[in-house]
Structures are given as C-alpha cells and as structure tokens.
Amino acid sequence: MSSIPFQLNLGGKLFDLSEPAIMAIVNVTPDSFYGLSRLFTEKDVLNRVENALKEGASMIDIGAYSTRPGARHISEAEEQERLREPLKSVRKHFPDAIISVDTYRAGVARWAVTECNIQIINDISGGTLDDLMFETVADTGAAYILTHMRGTPQTMQQQTVYENMLAEILEFFSKRIARLVHLGAKDIIIDPGFGFAKTLDQNYELLAKMSYFKQLELPILCGVSRKSMIYKLLDSSPEESLNGTTALNMLGLLNGADILRVHDVKEAAEAVKIFGKYKSYQPQS
C-alpha cells in the first residue's frame, strides 16, 4: 500500500490530499432531507459558498437532485435547469473554487464540465444509472467520485441484503475502477455510500471497517453528514444531528477518510484540525 499522499489533477491544478479535505454540500433542491440546507436564490447560494470557503472547505459540491430515500424523480432537463444559474454564478464569483456537480446523469455531468468548468463529477450511482457516465468522465478529464449504491434513490433501501457486504462492495469498486482506468479516467475517489442501500447497522459496520478499502489505493470520501444513521439511532432529526455528525466525522478520519462531505464546514474543519494534532503523536508505521 502506497504511503505517498494522494494528489488529484483538478482542472489542470494539482490538489494535495496529504491532509483531509472538506467538501461543502450546496443543495439547490426543494426536497433535500435536511431542510436547512435547501437554497432557493442566487444570493443564498453565493452566501453559502462564501461562508463555506471561509470556514475551511476546499471543495464545493452542488446538487439539484435529491438522493434521499424515496426522493421524487425529476427529469434531466429539470435537473440541468436547476443547476444552470447556481453553477454559472458560483464559477463567476469564485473563479478559483474547486466545484463538484452531484449528478448521476452523464449529460448533466458533461454539460457542467464543458459549460461551467466544474472539476469533479460526484455520481451517487457509481455509473449504474447511466451507461454513458464512465465514457463522459474519461472524455472530459474530470475527477470522479465513484459511490457504491444499489438500485435508485427510490428503491435503494429495499436492496440491503448482502452475503458479505465488504467483499461485495470491494468487488463493485474493483470492477468499476478497472473499467474507468481502461477508458482513460485518471482521478478517481471512492465513496462507500453511507445510507445508499445499507441498513443502520450496515452503515456502522462500514464505517468501522472503512480502512478495508485502503487496499484500492485511492482517496476515500466519507459522507455521513446529518444522515439517518445518526438521527434514527439517537431518536432525533437531521436538524438535531450536528453533534452526531462531528462524532462520525472523527471516526471516519480515524478509519482513513481523505475527504469529508458535510453540511457544517466549521465543525468539520475543527475535527480535521484536532485529528491532525492527535495524529502527529501517533507512532509512524
């Protein structure tokens, strides 16, 4: 296993992952599971991005299709229309920002890269919902977040039966990474897909054993922010899940996360700073 820090080529600039990075969630959906994250105006979006960057985010993930369990399906045209002004406005006002588009549709991804100069495609389906996605990733040269999921956002929670969950997810990643590399994709990030076709207990097993995926020698993204694995366990709500999110983010860092995808940047940045200090006193292997 390589001990060299990961580097990503993001739009022609090298991005160093020797320290964990923070990806800020920017939702331009009316039905995101966390109500306080929904943004409706250009001013709201720009304020959110500006604050996230000030608080320590180095990546901005903009999505227009809610992927919560049972989310309403929208057309590709509606998704792209929701994204059009936010992506163009964020790129105009923050020209140096690293922007990710959260979409599983190849057409939306290609448009976002070519027309809005985004650097990362964040595909919650791992290429399972659009056969053209991998070719699009390779053609555009964008970095790609490869997420494990079964089914669709509408059906994924009915597909949680595994014989050996870790082995099956590893096989999923291995086959898809091989195909991406064969096509010419170069900058791949893996996301175990917390909440995507996993039960509450499976999510915690996955978090505890996330370092298992280090054998793939690719950066790992951990996205647990305010998810049901927190509020269902604590009998609370997404709005009451900040403390639980911080606890899980720290466990993610301890188990090998290179990127934290979060709603709450300041708290995640503090967790990363504390983790860095803690790690500096750990014996070097």
Q: What is the CATH number of the domain that holds 107?
A: 3.20.20.20
Instruction: Determine whether 261 is an active site residue.
Output: yes
In a domain, 23, yes or no: yes
176 is catalytic: no
Residue with tokens 């280090």: 214
CA distance 8 to 72: 34
Check residue 240 and give its pLDDT.
Answer: 96
| Residue 10 domain flag | no
Residue 285 lies in a domain: no
C-alpha 68/C-alpha 244 separation (Å) is 19
Domain membership flag for residue 2? no
Q: How many domains does the chain have?
A: 1
pLDDT at position 37 is 47
In a domain, 205, yes or no: yes
pLDDT at 1: 39
CA dihedral over 133, 104, 120, 210, signed as positive or negative: negative
- For residue 89, being part of any structural domain is answered with yes
Q: Exactly one of 261, 266, 277, 279 is catalytic; name it.
A: 261
117 in a structural domain:
yes
- Rounded Cα distance, 60 and 73, in Å: 24
Cβ-count burial of 206 within 10 angstroms (0-12 exposed, 13-18 middle, 19+ buried)? Answer: buried
Please count the helices (runs of H) and the strands (runs of E) in the chain: 9, 10
pLDDT, averaged in runs of 10, over the chain (285 residues): 77 95 90 51 91 98 79 85 93 97 97 97 96 98 97 84 97 98 97 96 98 97 97 96 98 98 98 97 82
Which of 48, 82, 105, 227 is labelled catalytic? 227
Domain that holds residue 131: 19-278
Query: Would 127 be classed as within a structural domain?
Result: yes
